[in-house]
Amino acid sequence: MKNDKIKELLTRGVEEIIDKSSLEKKLKSGKQLRVKFGTDPTSPNIHLGRSIPILKLKDFQDLGHKIVFIVGDFTGLIGDTSDKESERPMLTEQTVKENLKTYIKQAGKIIDIDKAEIHYNSKWLGKLKYMDIGHQADSFSLNEFISRENISKRLNNGKRVSLRELLYPLMQGYDSVEVKADVEIGGTDQRFNLLAGRDLQRLYGQEPQDIITNPLVEGLDGRKMSSSFGNTINLFDLPNDMFGKTMSLRDDLIMKYFNLLTRIDLETIKEYDNPRDLKMKLAFEITKMYHSEREAQIAQDYFVKTFSKKEIPSDVPTFKPTQYDILSILVDSKLVPSKAEARRTILQGGVKINGMVVKEISCNVDKDSTIQKGKIKFIKIV
RNA sequence: GGGUAGAUGGCGGAGCGGUCAAUCGCACCAGACUGUAAAUCUGGCGCCUUCGGGCUACGGGGGUUCAAAUCCCUCUCUACCCA
């Protein structure tokens, strides 16, 4: 039983393990491992792509290991180099603070925060002296940095690479020293930074941490899931959105999502042969993970009613207009951003009142009518 | 310190005196099709409009011109090259 768990721990949602035999040994020793995971509060939303390492943390936590959660309040100010085609801006202290709050809350949807250690890396990084940094920096060569793919790409494209960015791996690596990490988890894009931790731990006389990298997952449109593409499912998405977004997923990604983003036993979903049902199950599971079984069920019912049966859902937000002509209502209720947009949408047959397509730009709407814009947006006039 | 090239709509990127609210791609919105908010196809995509038109926009400011995203001056920012 425990061996099965370890096997899943080492394979599910895992791209690469450095060094695998060392990690296996550590796991079998029975010692409680210190499993480090760091994140910079660059964006207030955690999306499902970022949930992969957090789920891995949960796997460790379930086996009794210690999660050491590092909030990069200091590193976030500097900006990571990894995985960005362009330079990351330095965040202001205030942005970092605001993002932080929601961060922990979101991570708490997956792991038991109370049992984890949480550290803010400003605590130690802010105290390092120039001398220390020089000492650490000597472990690395510029050659290593510029041969990293993301750096060399930018250099070749004539994009700017700032010296500040080169400090980032040192800082992340030094975090490992401070928390005496046995294992660190991160995305494949973090590989360089994770390895820096090993070098620095050696420099400070510690045994180097082992590393687990997680694969990246495609977003709803098949490109890499990223906030800048707008193809994410976020942990804070409302149940209906979460369910609906998942249903819009490309079919060929369904199994990958099950594998990486849930912990459901893959054997149990073999019974589904219709991809729609399988995707429905996926949407249900994901919604359940971040909300509740009950809310997942409600979201599913809503989806079936609205999209499969094309009914007007029973639970429609209400709107009390001040002017009752259709254009004003569409704009005032924020169904569309401007009157020009409202006209366009109507002309294209995208607006319905009580199920009837609106043909006239100037018409009045009665109370108790239900207005539909596009396929998914409804309001009820009161 | 010196030189060169740039700054255009949510992003990338054309345009280089009028026909530019600005080609195109991505994103986005609507429609068709579908098991699907996928794929594909079609249309749209600054704001206001009594649908005639009006207004605000091409890094900031100032000029030239009947007319400027396009020319000139200046400021701010960026990249690259040389030292």
C-alpha distance across the termini of chain A, in Å: 59
User: A157, A185, A216 — which closes off a domain?
Assistant: A216
Residue A349 tokens read as 């047959």
Rounded to whole angstroms, the Cα distance separating A197 from A283 reads 37
Residue A72 tokens read as 């990069």
Return the pLDDT at A87: 42
| A36 pLDDT tier (thresholds 50, 70, 90) | very high
Same domain, A196 and A91: yes
Same domain, A281 and A348: no
| A342 pLDDT tier (thresholds 50, 70, 90) | very high
CB proximity A248–strand B (7 Å threshold): yes
Q: Is residue A230 one of the residues assigned to a domain?
A: no
Q: Which value does ipTM take for this structure?
A: 0.81
Rounded to whole angstroms, the Cα distance separating A337 from A224 reads 29
Same domain, A163 and A271: no
Enclosing H/E stretch for A351: strand A351-353
Which nucleotide's C1' atom has the smallest distance to the CA of A247? B36
Same domain, A75 and A122: yes
* Whether pLDDT at A340 is above 80: yes
Angle in degrees, CA A318, A322, A323, rounded to 5? 105
Name the residue range of residue A247's domain: 237-308
Omega of the bond prior to A199 within 30 degrees of 0, cis? no
Same domain, A101 and A202: yes
Q: Is residue A250 one of the residues assigned to a domain?
A: yes
Residue written as token pair 């994901």:
A286
Q: What are the angstrom distances between the C-alpha of A48 and each of A85, A99, A257, A286?
A: 21, 17, 9, 9
Instruction: Look up the CATH number of the domain holding residue A95.
Output: 3.40.50.620
Rounded to whole angstroms, the Cα distance separating A149 from A272 reads 41
Average pLDDT, whole number, for chain A?
Answer: 82
Q: Is residue A36 one of the residues assigned to a domain?
A: yes
Return the pLDDT at A86: 40
Mean pLDDT on A204-224: 85
From residues 90-119 of A, list those within 7 angstroms of strand B by Cβ. Answer: none
From residues 61-90 of A, list those within 7 angstroms of strand B by Cβ. Answer: none
Residue ranges of alpha helices (H) inside chain A are 2-11, 20-28, 48-62, 75-78, 93-107, 122-125, 130-137, 142-147, 149-156, 163-166, 168-179, 191-203, 239-247, 254-261, 275-290, 293-303, 326-332, 339-347
Lowest pLDDT segment from A8-22, A44-58, A137-151, A341-355: A137-151
Q: Is residue A328 one of the residues assigned to a domain?
A: yes
Residue A254 tokens read as 């369904």
| A248 pLDDT tier (thresholds 50, 70, 90) | confident
Rg (CA), chain A: 25
Rounded to whole angstroms, the Cα distance separating A334 from A314 reads 20
* Whether pLDDT at A40 is above 80: no
**pLDDT > 90 fraction of chain A, expressed in percent and rounded:** 14
Residue A118 tokens read as 């949480």
Q: Which residue from A122, A140, A33 is spatially nearest to A75, judged by alpha carbons? A: A122
CB proximity A249–strand B (7 Å threshold): yes
Mean pLDDT on A36-42: 80
What is the domain count for chain A? 3
Same domain, A260 and A371: no
From residues 351-370 of A, list those within 7 angstroms of strand B by Cβ. Answer: 361
* Whether pLDDT at A146 is above 80: no
Same domain, A26 and A155: yes
Q: Residue A5 — φ and ψ, nearest 5°?
A: -60, -45
CB proximity A338–strand B (7 Å threshold): yes
CB proximity A228–strand B (7 Å threshold): no
A224: Cα separation from own chain's centroid: 11
CB-proximal positions of chain B, under 7 Å: 27-32, 35-39, 43-49, 51, 78-80
Q: Is the CB of residue A39 less than 8 Å from the CB of residue A52?
A: no
A109-142: b (≥16 Cβ within 10 Å) or e: ebbeeeebeebebbebbeeeeeeeeeebeeebee
Q: Is the CB of residue A155 less than 8 Å from the CB of residue A146?
A: yes
Same domain, A281 and A337: no
Same domain, A192 and A242: no
Same domain, A199 and A241: no
Rounded to whole angstroms, the Cα distance separating A341 from A98 reads 34
**DSSP letter assigned to residue A128:** -
Return the pLDDT at A44: 63
A241: Cα separation from own chain's centroid: 15
User: A266, A286, A308 — which closes off a domain?
Assistant: A308
What's the CA A251/C1' B39 distance, rounded, in angstroms? 10
Q: Is residue A229 one of the residues assigned to a domain?
A: no
